[in-house]
Amino acid sequence: MSEKFIFGSDFHGNLNSVDAFLREAEERQATHVIFGGDIAPKNMAVKFRDGSAIKIDGERPISVRDSEDLEKEGYMLFSFEDEKEDELALLRITQKFSGYFDNSYFEGSRDPILTLEEIVILEKYKQFFMDFLENTEEGQKIFEFFTRDLPSSLEKFVDMVYQFLKFDYYLKKGDRENLRTIRENGFYSYLSWQRVAALIKLAFSPLRKWEAIERDLSSHSLPKQREFLQKFLERIDEFRGRVSAKVSIILGNDDMKELGEDLDRAQANGLIVNATNRVVQIGDNVQMLGYSFVPPLPYSFDVWYKNEGEISKDLEVLAGEIDPEKILIANIHCPPVDTRVSRTFSGYEIGSNAVRQFVSDVEPQIVLTGHSHDHWKREDGGVFDRVGVTRVYSPGASEKRGRFIVCNIDEDDHFLVER
């Protein structure tokens, strides 16, 4: 009997990609649906009362997005109590100005740069703004520069900045009454959006605390990952109600280890096969070896880290459970070292020597792997390589859009890859 399997990896909580992957499996009439590691979300975002959200990603750029879109794309959404939300909203506001110091960007926009609610939040921090201008060397230079031609008191200058923001808001909204009120109060500004953008970014940058927030939220990831896994398993249940295909999965280094308990319960209910760090039967003549540990990295959950010697011993134990008479598919999250699928686009080698040695010694019919997201973008990269006689496939991460491999096993146990 011929078999057809479809493999995807590194979904990182992106339900859109999961849905697309399952649709592809159904359309191609796959008999085996195989998920590689890193199924659960790892990226984090803070959700605000207005439905927007802001990504939290260490020192890298942070952007404001719709929270529902971010959740579908695999972000764990966190909400803060009200007393902290203003400070986070302030960070969101300053981010709007980061990198946008071109007058044409602001003056050409048809929408207000800030909402009235955001301007009110800025006004709450008026004293912080004034302290920056008065008590820091950088702030003093900025204040002197802005007021060198038209002397102004500190408080009047700060008020003028706020009036500038409101003027833009009412102008873009076509609110003539409020515009007239601002003008009647003697509003005159020699400020430009370029100057205001730079000023707000500099004045409020000391409040940036993303790394601390990220560390705090990471400690609360398990409930969020479990929320995702429940949604994921519901989709698998619906899929299997339509399609008579077996679904197997392993965890990866960005999945919290406790998710294995949830997968075991789903397996006990006949929904999936949990192949994490074990050898399982997925067909009459097909077995799968799953393995999730990776050599240490400077990020992700260290519970999945093992050195090469430990990985070698683990794989040796698993090799003892293999039936040599059956087809062996190795679903190993970490790729073999020094292959076209083991280097990131930036050139960082994340493969394992122990995995490569295991593949050379055991010679599985095929190795399915992940971990590296963008190796296929490299000139010397791809989605396929060989280690000895064994074919190694890694389609790349499905974190942003579905990427997959489809393979047929004919009645003579020959492999034919469709994609």
Q: What is the pLDDT of residues 257-294, one digit of tens each?
A: 999 999 999 999 999 999 999 999 998 889 999 999 99
For residue 305, the one-letter residue type is: Y
Average pLDDT (353-378) is 95
For residue 55, list its beta bridge partners: 45
For residue 78, list its beta bridge partners: 46
Please report the pLDDT score of residue 72 as a whole number. 81
Closest CA to 197 of 219, 150, 164: 164
DSSP for 310-325 reads HHHHHHHHHHTT--TT
Average pLDDT (96-109) is 51
Q: What is the pLDDT of residues 33-50, one digit of tens each?
A: 999 999 999 888 877 777
Q: Give the separation between CA 383 and CA 403, rounded to whole angstroms.
A: 10
Q: Give the separation between CA 21 and CA 24, rounded to whole angstroms.
A: 5
The band of 117, judged by pLDDT with boundaries at 50, 70 and 90, is: confident
Cα 266 off chain centre by: 25
The band of 57, judged by pLDDT with boundaries at 50, 70 and 90, is: low
The band of 136, judged by pLDDT with boundaries at 50, 70 and 90, is: confident
The band of 74, judged by pLDDT with boundaries at 50, 70 and 90, is: confident
- Whether 195 and 103 have beta carbons less than 8 Å apart is answered as no
Report the residue count for the chain. 419
CA dihedral 166, 171, 172, 177 (to 10 degrees): 90
Closest CA to 133 of 101, 98, 106, 161: 161
Average pLDDT (82-90) is 64
Q: Say what percent of the chain tops pLDDT 90.
A: 47
Q: Does pLDDT of 191 surpass 90?
A: no
Q: Give the separation between CA 34 and CA 340, rounded to whole angstroms.
A: 21
Q: Say what percent of the chain tops pLDDT 70.
A: 84
Please report the pLDDT score of residue 55 as a whole number. 75
Bridge-based pairing of strands 327-332 and 286-291 is: parallel
Which residue has better confidence, 400 or 288?
288
Please report the pLDDT score of residue 105 as a whole number. 45
Bridge-based pairing of strands 32-35 and 43-47 is: unpaired
Domains and CATH numbers, the chain: 3-39+220-417 (3.60.21.10), 45-215 (no CATH)
Q: Give the separation between CA 271 and CA 278, rounded to whole angstroms.
A: 17
Average model confidence (pLDDT) for the chain? 85
The band of 6, judged by pLDDT with boundaries at 50, 70 and 90, is: very high
Tokens 């008479």 sit at which residue? 325
Please give the order of strands across the beta sheet that includes 278-281.
278-281, 286-291, 327-332, 366-368, 390-393, 384-387
Cα angle at 279 between 277 and 284, to 5 degrees? 150
Please give the order of strands across the beta sheet that includes 415-417.
273-274, 246-249, 32-35, 3-8, 405-409, 415-417
- Whether 179 and 170 have beta carbons less than 8 Å apart is answered as yes
Average pLDDT (358-372) is 96
Cα angle at 385 between 382 and 388, to 5 degrees? 170
| Strand blocks (E) in 350-404 | 366-368, 384-387, 390-393
DSSP for 43-107 reads EEEEE-TTSEEEEE-TTS---EEEHHHHHHTTEEEEE--HHHHHHHHHHHHHHHHTT---HHHHH
If one counts every other C-beta atom within 10 angstroms of the C-beta of residue 258, the result is 12
Tokens of 46: 């803070």
Q: What is the pLDDT of residues 203-222, one digit of tens each?
A: 876 555 555 666 667 777 89
Tokens of 108: 């050409």
- Whether 260 and 274 have beta carbons less than 8 Å apart is answered as yes
Q: Does pLDDT of 63 surpass 70?
A: no
The band of 124, judged by pLDDT with boundaries at 50, 70 and 90, is: confident
Bridge-based pairing of strands 246-249 and 32-35 is: parallel
Phi then psi dihedrals of residue 391, to 5 deg: -85, 135
The band of 102, judged by pLDDT with boundaries at 50, 70 and 90, is: very low
Average pLDDT (362-382) is 93
Which residue has better confidence, 156 or 185?
156
DSSP for 121-151 reads HHHHTHHHHHHHHHHSHHHHHHHHHHTSSS-
Tell me which of 67-71, 253-257, 343-347, 368-372 is least confident. Answer: 67-71
The whole-model pTM stands at 0.74
